[in-house]
Chains A and B, each alone.
Chain A
Amino acid sequence: MTAPSDTEAPDNDPVDTDSLLSTAQAAIAGARSIEEIRQVAASVSGKRSPLAEASRRLGALEPAARKALGQQIHQARTAIDGLLEQRRNDLEREERSRQMAEARMDLTEFIPGSIPAPAARGHLHLVSQTRDSLEDVFVGMGFEAAEGPEIETDWFNFGALNMPPAHPARSMFDTFYLNLGPPESTVLRTHTSPVQIHLMEEAVASGGLPIHAVMPGRAYRHETEDARHLAVFHQIEGLVVDKGITFADLAGTIQVFTTAYFGPDIHSRLRPAYFPFTEPSAEFEVTCTICHGEGCRTCSQTGWIELGGCGMVDPAVFDAVGIDADEWTGFAFGFGIDRCAQMRHQIADMRALTENDLRFLRQF
C-alpha cells in the first residue's frame, strides 16, 4: 500500500518556476514529431512532471507562500501549455504538408480512357434553360443577345434611366449599395435596364444604330425573399431603337413572344403603368398558365398574371445617351426569367430555384 501523500515529509526547497519554464521551452522546441511532442508534454506538464509535483506540495505551505507559489505555478503552466499547443499545431501542419507532398499527383500523367463515362447525364439549371429558351424565341424574332456588368455606377442604374439622385421613383428599386467609391455611387444593378444604356452609348459612339437586342442577366433587390420574390434574381430586358418603331410594335412583340414561349392559348395584354425610363409605359400581363384564363386562386380570379413592364423609350433616356428622339423611336420591355420558369413549371416556391437540390434539378 502506498503511503498517503500527506504523510510525506514536506519538501521546503523553493521551487524555481523560471527554470522549469526554460527547461520545458527547450524540450518543446526540440520535439521533432507528433510522437516526440506527446512525450515532451508528459514530461513537462503531465502528472509526473516537476510542475505537477510542485503543485502537489502546495497544500503543505503557509497560506501566503501557497498563494504566491500557486500563482507562479499557474503562470508557468499556462505558458507551457501554450507552447505545447503551438508546437503541436506546427508539427501537425508539417505532418499534413508532408502527407500532402507524399500524395503528390502529376496531373499530366493522365491515361486517356482511365475515367469511366458518367452513369447519368447532368441537367442544366431550370433558370438557364428558361433563359436559353427565351433567348431563342427572341433570336428567332430578329434580336441579338447582349450582356452587361452586375456592378453598376449610379449613372447607369438610375441617372441615365431618368432617375436623378433623390428621385422618388428610386424607392421602387430596393438597392444593395457597395462600399466602392463615395457612398451610394456603386450598386448591384437592380434591373438589367442599365445594359440598355451601355448598348445605346456604344451604338452612338460607333454609329451602330439601330438596336434590336435582348439583355438577360442577374439582378439584385434588397428585399426579404418569399415564395414569389428572390433578392438575387434574373431578368431579361428587350430594347429596340429604330426608325418608325411604335407602341404597336411593342404590343406585337410581346404578343408573339408570349405565344411562342408559353403556347398558343396564352395571350398578352397591356395596361398603363409608370416607369421613369419609358413613356408611354405599360405593365404586361399574360393569360394565367394555371387556369388558362378561367380565373383561379393564383391569378386572383382575374385570368391574368402580371409578367413585366414595358413602354416606349422615354425621350429623357434618349437625351441622356445622345440619341435624337425625333429621328429614332424605340421600345423596351423587361421581365423576370425566374418568374417565367415559376409560371411555366408551376413552382410553388421560387426559393426552390436557389437550393440546387439534385432531385429538383433533374426534373428539367
Chain B
Amino acid sequence: MRVPLSWLRDFAPFVGNPADLAAALDDLGLVVEEIEVVGEGLGDVVVARVDSVAAIEGADRIRLVVVDAGSGPVEVVCGAWNFEVGDLVPLAPVGATLPGGFEIGRRKMKGVVSNGMLCSGRELNLSADHEGILRLNEMENVSAGQPLTEALGIEADVIFDIAVEANRPDASSIAGVARDLAARLGLPFAIPDTSVLLGAAAPVVPRIGAPVGTLASVRVDDLELCPRFTATVLTGVEVAPSPAWLSRRLTLAGMRPINNVVDASNYVMLELGQPTHPYDLDGLGGHGLVIRRARPGEAITTLDGVPRSLGRPGPSLGDTGQDCLICDAEGTAVAIGGVMGGASSEIDDATSRVLLEAAYFVPMAIARTSKRLGLRTEASARFERGCDPAGIDLAAGRFCELLAQSAGDAMSVAAGVIDVQGDVPVPLSLTVRPAKVNALLGTEFTSSQIAEMLAPLGISAEPPDGAGDLPLVVTVPTYRPDIRPAPNGEADIAEEVARTYGYARLARRTPSWPQPGRLTIYQRDRRLLREVLCGLGASEAWTSTFVSEFDQVRAGFDAPYIEVTNPLVEAERFLRSSMAPGLLRAVIYNTDRRQDDVRLFEVGTVFRLPRTSAVDPDGGPSAEAPERLSAVFAARGDDAWTAVAAWRTIAEALGIADWAMTDCLPSSRDSAVLHPFRRASLSSIVTGPAGHNGGAGQSTEVGVIGELDPTTVGEFGLLEADGRPRPVGWLDLDIGTLLDRDLVPRRPEEARPITRFPSSDIDLAFVVADSVPAGGVERTLRRSGGELLESVELFDVYRGASVPEGSRSLAFRLRFCALDHTVTDQEVGELRTQCIGAVEREHQARLR
C-alpha cells in the first residue's frame, strides 16, 4: 500500500527524516518496501515559453531554442523535437539541481552555448515519459515565469510503500498506519472531524435534505452475510473532476482519478479502510436495494465486463457457495456485495442522485466468494480481512464532506441514514494476565506498564494503574479483529505490547535443556550412505518431483499415478514414481555440456499408489512415499559391474550381516527399468538362531541393481558416438528398509577374536552351467566350509576352450584358520572334500 507522508500528517504531527519514520514502521511490522520521493528538486524549474527554434550548423539532432521564462530570452540547445514556437515547457536554468542530483551547468555544443535544459517528464521525476519535453500548454492558468511546482500544484512528498500483513485490516488505511506510528513515537493521534485540507472552518455537511426514506429503500434478507448495511442519499450532485489536491493524493496512493463521486469513495477507502459503493440512484429499479443470498447459478456481469455465475460452491475446501448479491428493488442484480459492482448503476456524467452504500460483510464469506471467482478487488481485500463495522458512519460522513467540495452548490444530503443491522461485532472484552504476557515475552512488565503501552493503540485497559501482576480487563475496538477472545487473545495482546515496546528491545537468552541434541541412527546412516556414494565418484543430484507420463512409463510404472490437480507445467503433472528419469536427464544435461564421466545419485522421496485397492479411512486412495537412494553410473566404461561394486562397498560400509543377489520377481516395479538379463534383486538375509547350518534364511528385498534397459536409455537419448545406447549401471535402494536394523541386521557389535595362528588357502575351480549364479556356489562353499572357513572369494571366471558351451569355470579361493591352533592339512583336506561334494551335488557342477 502506498502511503504519502503528507496524508499521514493529517492524523499526527510526524516530523523528522523519512528514513527514520520508515525504520519505525518496519519495527511495527508495517514493512516499508520502498521509499519514493516525489516533487523534489523541482524548486528551480520554471515554466518558459518557446519563442524561436533554429537549426545549428553541422548538427542534425539538436537545435537552438530561444525561450522566455519572464526575464528575457534564454538560449538553450535541445535534442527534442516535440514542441513548437508558442509552447509552454519546463526550463531548468543554469545552477538548478534536478531530481537525482543532476546539476545544470552552462554547456557548449557544436559551438553553441546552452544556458539551461528543457526537461522531459522523466527528468523531473513526474512521469515515465522520456519521449520528448513535457508540454504544459493544455494546463489551465499556467504562464511563463511561474515556478513549475506552483503551475502543477505539487509539493515535495514522500511515499512509503508498505506491505501490510493479512491480519491487519486496520493498517490497510492511512489512518491505521498513522495510529500505529503515532503510538510508537508517542505522538497524539486524532481522526479530524473535517478535512484539515479544507480548513477548520469547513462545516460537516448537514443531512438536511428530504428524509432518506422517501428517496430510497433498503431491505436486507441475509443478515448473516451482511450484518450491517447503510445507505446515504445525495441529491443535486454535479459529476465533475475532483479538486486537484484530492486527485493528486489518489495518484500518489496509486489510484487513478475518475470523477468526484468515485474519487471520494476511493479516497475514503484509502484513508479510513472502509470501502463504500456509490450507485446512481436513478439507475436502480424501484429506487432501492435488496441484499440477499445469490440463488444457485444466478448471474451478474461485473464492472470489468465479465459475466459471473454465483451461488454454487466451487471445488475449494470450505466453500459454501454462499454469495452476497445486491439487487435493485425490481430484482436486477447490481453488485456482488463487498466484491464488485455491476455496470448498470455505475456513476456517469448524467448522474445527479447518488445512493452511497457503506456496509459490513462477513469476512469469511467475502474470502470464499473472492477466491472462487478469482476476483480480488481493493474492496474485497479489505472486507475479507475484516472492516470496522463501527467505522461505517464516519466513512459515509467523510464521503459527503469530500463530495461537497466539488459537486456543486445544489448538492444536498438526505436527512437520516437507512441503517439495517443484524449481529454486528462489538468491542471485545478480554482479561489479560500480566504474568502470561511476561511468560510469552520473557519480560517483567507490570500491569500498569502494559495498560500504558496498549492505550495509544486504542486498546483501553482497566485498571490503568494496577501494580505488579494485577490482571487487566482490556477492551479491544472493533477495528482490531485480529485480536481474538480468550483464551487465545492474551497472546495477541502480548504481540501488541511487544510491538509498541519494540521487538529489538526485548531481551535475548540462549536456552538450554537437559536433553542432548542428536541425529537419529537412521539420519546418521543416511549421511554415511551419501558419503560412500561420493567416495564411489558419484555426485549428488536433486531432480524434479514432477514428471511426465513418458517418464513414468519408461521408468516401468503404469497408471494410475499420483496427479497434481493444478500443475505448473501441464505435461509434468505426476509425482515421480522413480528417480530414474530425473537422473537420466541430469546425466544427459551434463554429457551435452561435455561432462562425460557422469555418476550421479539422489536420496529422495518417490510417490506411488499401492497396487492393492487399499483405501484409507477418509475414503481416498492412500499414497506410498518411500525414501530411496538411486544411483546412475554413466561414466565411460561403466555398466552393471560398476553398480555391483558400489553395492558391495555400501554393504561393507553399513556392515550388513548377510545379503544376497537373486533374480528379480516379475512383479517388482523397481526392476522394470532394468535390462531384463542384467539385473538382480538385493536382499538382506536374516538367519535364525539355529540357522547356521539350515541355510535358508528370511530374506527382505532392499533394492534392485543392474544396467538400465538400453531401449529406455536410447529413448531418453543417451547415446554413444556410434549411436548405440550407452551402458548405464543402476542401483536403487529402499533406504527405509535398508537402514532398518531389524529387517537388515548389521554385524554383531561384539568383537570377534582374531587368530594368532597362520591360515591356509585352497583354490577350487568348478565348471558350472551359465544358469547357475556364482553367488549360489559361493553361498554353498561358505556354508560347507564350517567354522574354520575365514573367507571365500571368487577370483577367476573363464569361458572358452576346455569348458563346455553354456558353462563357465568359476575359481574360488577359500581361506581356513582356527583360533587355537594352526589348521592341519587333514582338516583342510576334509573340508575341501566336503565343499566340493556340496557344490557338485547342489549345482550340478564339476571340479575342474
Specify the chain A residue showing the minimal Cβ separation from B490.
A315
Binary per-residue interface labels of chain B (474-496) against chain A in the complex, 1 for a CB within 8 Å, 0 otherwise: 00000000101001101110110
B291 at the interface (CB under 8 A from A): no
Binary per-residue interface labels of chain B (15-49) against chain A in the complex, 1 for a CB within 8 Å, 0 otherwise: 00000000000111101000000000000000000
Question: Are B623 and A180 interface neighbours, CB within 8 A?
Answer: yes
Cα distance A282–B508 in the bound complex, in angstroms: 14
Question: Are B661 and A108 interface neighbours, CB within 8 A?
Answer: yes
Selected from B29, B167, B517, B705, the residue in CB contact (under 8 A) with A107 is: B705
For chain B residues 629-683, which have a beta carbon within 8 Å of chain A?
A: 635, 640-642, 644-645, 648, 661, 675-680
Cα distance A132–B534 in the bound complex, in angstroms: 15
B277 at the interface (CB under 8 A from A): no
Closest 10 CB pairs of A and B: A165-B318, A181-B620, A118-B537, A272-B29, A108-B775, A248-B442, A246-B442, A280-B495, A274-B165, A166-B318
Question: Are A210 and B439 interface neighbours, CB within 8 A?
Answer: no
B506 at the interface (CB under 8 A from A): yes
Given A106-B774, A180-B620, residue A121 in contact with residue B495 (CB < 8 A):
no
For chain B residues 567-605, which have a beta carbon within 8 Å of chain A?
A: 567-568, 575, 586, 589-590, 593, 595, 597-601, 603-605
Count of B interface residues, CB-CB < 8 Å: 131
Question: Are B810 and A109 interface neighbours, CB within 8 A?
Answer: yes
A261 at the interface (CB under 8 A from B): no
With A125-B541, A240-B511, A279-B492 given, name 14 new contacts (CB 8 A). A106-B774, A107-B678, A119-B537, A135-B519, A144-B518, A181-B620, A185-B620, A224-B568, A246-B440, A247-B441, A248-B441, A271-B29, A274-B165, A329-B440
Query: In the complex, which range does the number of interface residues on chain A fall in?
Result: 35 or more
Selected from B495, B535, B542, B623, the residue in CB contact (under 8 A) with A356 is: B542
Q: How near does chain B come to A286, taking the closest CB pair, in angstroms?
A: 14
Selected from B541, B568, B625, B645, the residue in CB contact (under 8 A) with A110 is: B645
Chain B residues near A125: list those with CB within 8 A: 539-542
Chain A residues near B793: list those with CB within 8 A: 112
For chain A residues 130-173, which have a beta carbon within 8 Å of chain B?
A: 132, 135, 138-145, 147, 149-151, 153-154, 164-169, 171-172
Selected from A222, A242, A248, A256, the residue in CB contact (under 8 A) with B566 is: A222
Cα distance A166–B318 in the bound complex, in angstroms: 5
B515 at the interface (CB under 8 A from A): yes
Cα distance A182–B565 in the bound complex, in angstroms: 11
Question: Are A142 and B516 interface neighbours, CB within 8 A?
Answer: yes
A203 at the interface (CB under 8 A from B): no
Question: Are B519 and A139 interface neighbours, CB within 8 A?
Answer: yes
Specify the chain B residue showing the minimal Cβ separation from A140.
B517
Q: How near does chain B come to A257, taking the closest CB pair, in angstroms?
A: 10
A184 at the interface (CB under 8 A from B): yes
A220 at the interface (CB under 8 A from B): yes
Binary per-residue interface labels of chain B (158-200) against chain A in the complex, 1 for a CB within 8 Å, 0 otherwise: 0000000111100000000000000000000000000000000
Chain A residues near B545: list those with CB within 8 A: 150, 188, 218, 220, 232
Chain A residues near B385: list those with CB within 8 A: 168
Of the listed stretches B217-225, B352-360, B394-402, B794-802, name the one at the interface; the rest are far from the partner chain: B794-802
Chain B residues near A251: list those with CB within 8 A: 503, 506-509
Q: How near does chain B come to A266, taking the closest CB pair, in angstroms?
A: 15
Question: Are A269 and B563 interface neighbours, CB within 8 A?
Answer: no
Chain A residues near B543: list those with CB within 8 A: 354, 356
Cα distance A147–B625 in the bound complex, in angstroms: 13
Question: Are B590 and A181 interface neighbours, CB within 8 A?
Answer: no
For chain B residues 743-800, which have a beta carbon within 8 Å of chain A?
A: 770, 773-776, 778, 793-797
Of the listed stretches A14-22, A96-104, A193-201, name the one at the interface; the rest are far from the partner chain: A96-104
Q: How near does chain A come to B492, taking the closest CB pair, in angstroms?
A: 6
A359 at the interface (CB under 8 A from B): yes
Question: Are A182 and B620 interface neighbours, CB within 8 A?
Answer: yes
Cα distance A184–B167 in the bound complex, in angstroms: 24
Chain A residues near B566: list those with CB within 8 A: 176-177, 222
Question: Are B518 and A107 interface neighbours, CB within 8 A?
Answer: no
Given A120-B537, A121-B537, A181-B619, residue A253 in contact with residue B511 (CB < 8 A):
yes
B248 at the interface (CB under 8 A from A): no
Cα distance A172–B512 in the bound complex, in angstroms: 33
For chain B residues 388-406, which have a beta carbon within 8 Å of chain A?
A: none
Chain A residues near B645: list those with CB within 8 A: 110, 114-115
Question: Are A165 and B317 interface neighbours, CB within 8 A?
Answer: yes
Question: Are B661 and A178 interface neighbours, CB within 8 A?
Answer: no
Selected from A122, A142, A212, the residue in CB contact (under 8 A) with B540 is: A122
Cα distance A108–B775 in the bound complex, in angstroms: 5
B530 at the interface (CB under 8 A from A): yes
Cα distance A210–B517 in the bound complex, in angstroms: 13
Selected from A100, A123, A151, the residue in CB contact (under 8 A) with B625 is: A151
Question: Are A184 and B487 interface neighbours, CB within 8 A?
Answer: no
B562 at the interface (CB under 8 A from A): yes
Question: Are B511 and A180 interface neighbours, CB within 8 A?
Answer: no
Of the listed stretches B57-65, B361-369, B421-429, name the one at the interface; the rest are far from the partner chain: B361-369
Specify the chain A residue showing the minimal Cβ separation from B562.
A178
27 A-B residue pairs with CB within 8 Å = A97-B676, A106-B774, A107-B641, A107-B679, A109-B773, A115-B644, A120-B537, A121-B534, A122-B537, A122-B599, A144-B515, A144-B520, A145-B523, A168-B364, A169-B166, A169-B167, A185-B317, A186-B623, A242-B511, A247-B441, A247-B498, A255-B510, A270-B504, A272-B28, A274-B165, A329-B440, A356-B543
Chain B residues near A141: list those with CB within 8 A: 510, 517
Q: How near does chain A come to B729, taking the closest CB pair, in angstroms?
A: 10
For chain A residues 308-364, which have a beta carbon within 8 Å of chain B?
A: 312, 314-316, 319, 325-326, 329, 353-359, 361-362
Chain A residues near B517: list those with CB within 8 A: 138-144, 212
B272 at the interface (CB under 8 A from A): no
B384 at the interface (CB under 8 A from A): yes
Cα distance A240–B563 in the bound complex, in angstroms: 35
Cα distance A117–B678 in the bound complex, in angstroms: 22
Given A107-B706, A356-B600, residue A280 in contact with residue B539 (CB < 8 A):
no
Chain B residues near A188: list those with CB within 8 A: 545, 564, 575
B102 at the interface (CB under 8 A from A): no
Question: Are B316 and A212 interface neighbours, CB within 8 A?
Answer: no
A105 at the interface (CB under 8 A from B): yes
Question: Are A132 and B527 interface neighbours, CB within 8 A?
Answer: yes
Chain B residues near A135: list those with CB within 8 A: 519, 523
Cα distance A183–B313 in the bound complex, in angstroms: 12
Cα distance A179–B796 in the bound complex, in angstroms: 54
Chain A residues near B441: list those with CB within 8 A: 246-248, 280
Q: How near does chain B come to A230, taking the closest CB pair, in angstroms?
A: 10
Given A110-B794, A111-B794, A249-B511, residue A183 in contact with residue B315 (CB < 8 A):
yes
A296 at the interface (CB under 8 A from B): no
Given A183-B317, A249-B442, residue A151 in contact with residue B623 (CB < 8 A):
yes
Cα distance A218–B737 in the bound complex, in angstroms: 21
Chain A residues near B482: list those with CB within 8 A: 274
Q: How near does chain A come to B774, taking the closest CB pair, in angstroms?
A: 4
Question: Are B513 and A106 interface neighbours, CB within 8 A?
Answer: no
A273 at the interface (CB under 8 A from B): yes
Cα distance A176–B573 in the bound complex, in angstroms: 10
Given A181-B620, A222-B566, A312-B440, residue A106 in contact with residue B519 (CB < 8 A):
no
Cα distance A128–B620 in the bound complex, in angstroms: 33
Given A114-B641, A248-B508, residue A179 in contact with residue B563 (CB < 8 A):
yes
Question: Are A168 and B384 interface neighbours, CB within 8 A?
Answer: yes
For chain A residues 244-285, which have a beta carbon within 8 Å of chain B?
A: 244-249, 251-253, 255-256, 269-274, 276, 279-283
B544 at the interface (CB under 8 A from A): yes
Q: How near does chain B come to A201, taking the closest CB pair, in angstroms?
A: 16
A124 at the interface (CB under 8 A from B): yes
Question: Are A253 and B510 interface neighbours, CB within 8 A?
Answer: yes
Q: How near does chain B come to A220, taking the closest CB pair, in angstroms?
A: 7
Chain A residues near B775: list those with CB within 8 A: 106, 108-109
Chain A residues near B661: list those with CB within 8 A: 107-108
B371 at the interface (CB under 8 A from A): yes
B628 at the interface (CB under 8 A from A): no
